């Protein structure tokens, strides 16, 4: 997934109201950017952090910048836009470039299922339907280890229960953790942050839900899928 316009660097002043961030551009101007991330962004929103913004000239948008990346200033990046994983994964699914997934003929996003839920992707092919739930992973508290979630997510626990149900109905279900960081080699669960989510995960895994984890390749030009990562429950 390529960015629509070239990104510009800035320094974070503060993130607030979840979806807003005040930043200072290199020319000294202070602007407010849209932050497309409802999570806590633990470890990513400290004042002074170098960030990359995507400008826009869309008259329908009140904010003219969107916060896209954290630059760790050591050669590594984290993508903070939680809509990116679905867009990047969709492109890879259509190109049949996702390891661990079966052959399929049809990729349908946002299909209703469960109780007032929508699955991120429903894949249909030669075998049983495959339900794919995608989570963006950005937290890392240990070097080289990505963790999910970064805050309590009752919605995430609900999705795991619904994935377990579709397995019981004879379909395949996949919990897909897409790590929007370039500095991690494995993924695990932050059970101290949300023990209820961890318990829901354990039940889903026992019920036959498959777990996949994959890295991202991140630059100021694009975010694309990288290599599979080790998942440690």
Reading the block at residue 177, the tokens are 């953790």
Cα-based distances in Å from 159 to 129, 166, 223 = 17, 11, 25
Residue 73 backbone zone (phi > 0: left; psi -120 to 50: alpha; other: beta): left
8 Å CB contact between 10 and 53: yes
Reading the block at residue 105, the tokens are 């003929």
pLDDT given at position 211: 97
Domains present along the chain, CATH in parentheses: 8-79 (2.40.50.580), 84-232 (3.40.1350.60)
Determine the Cα–Cα distance for residues 154 and 49; give it in Å rounded to an integer. 29
Pairing of strands 186-189, 230-232: parallel
* pLDDT tens sequence across 145-173: 999 999 999 999 999 999 999 999 999 99
Determine the Cα–Cα distance for residues 226 and 215; give it in Å rounded to an integer. 5
Q: Cis link prior to 204 (omega < 30° from 0)?
A: no
Q: Which of 61, 64, 158, 178 is nearest to 118 (CA)?
A: 158
| Low-confidence stretches of the chain (pLDDT beneath 50) | none
8 Å CB contact between 190 and 232: no
Determine the Cα–Cα distance for residues 220 and 76; give it in Å rounded to an integer. 11
pLDDT given at position 126: 73
pLDDT given at position 101: 82
């Amino acid at each position: 997934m390529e960015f629509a316009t070239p990104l510009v660097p800035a320094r974070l002043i503060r993130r607030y109201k979840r979806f807003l961030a005040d930043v200072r551009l290199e020319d000294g101007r202070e602007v407010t950017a849209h932050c497309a991330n409802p999570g806590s962004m633990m470890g990513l929103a400290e004042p002074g952090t170098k960030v990359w913004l995507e400008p826009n000239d869309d008259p329908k948008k009140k904010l003219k910048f969107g916060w896209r990346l954290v630059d760790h200033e050591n050669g590594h990046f984290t993508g903070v836009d939680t809509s990116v994983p679905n867009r990047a994964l969709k492109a890879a699914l259509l190109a049949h470039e996702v390891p661990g997934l079966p052959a399929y003929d049809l990729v349908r996003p946002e299909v209703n299922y469960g109780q007032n839920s929508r699955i991120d992707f429903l894949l249909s092919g030669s075998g049983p339907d495959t339900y794919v739930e995608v989570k963006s992973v950005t937290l890392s508290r240990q070097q080289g280890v990505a963790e999910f979630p970064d805050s309590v997510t009752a919605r995430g626990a609900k999705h795991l229960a619904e994935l377990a149900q579709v397995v019981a109905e004879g379909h395949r279900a996949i919990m897909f953790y897409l790590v929007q960081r370039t500095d991690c080699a494995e993924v695990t669960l932050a059970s101290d942050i949300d023990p209820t989510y961890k318990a829901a995960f354990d039940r889903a895994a026992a019920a036959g839900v498959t777990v996949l984890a994959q890295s991202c390749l991140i630059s100021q030009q694009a975010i694309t899928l990288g290599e599979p990562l080790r998942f440690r429950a």
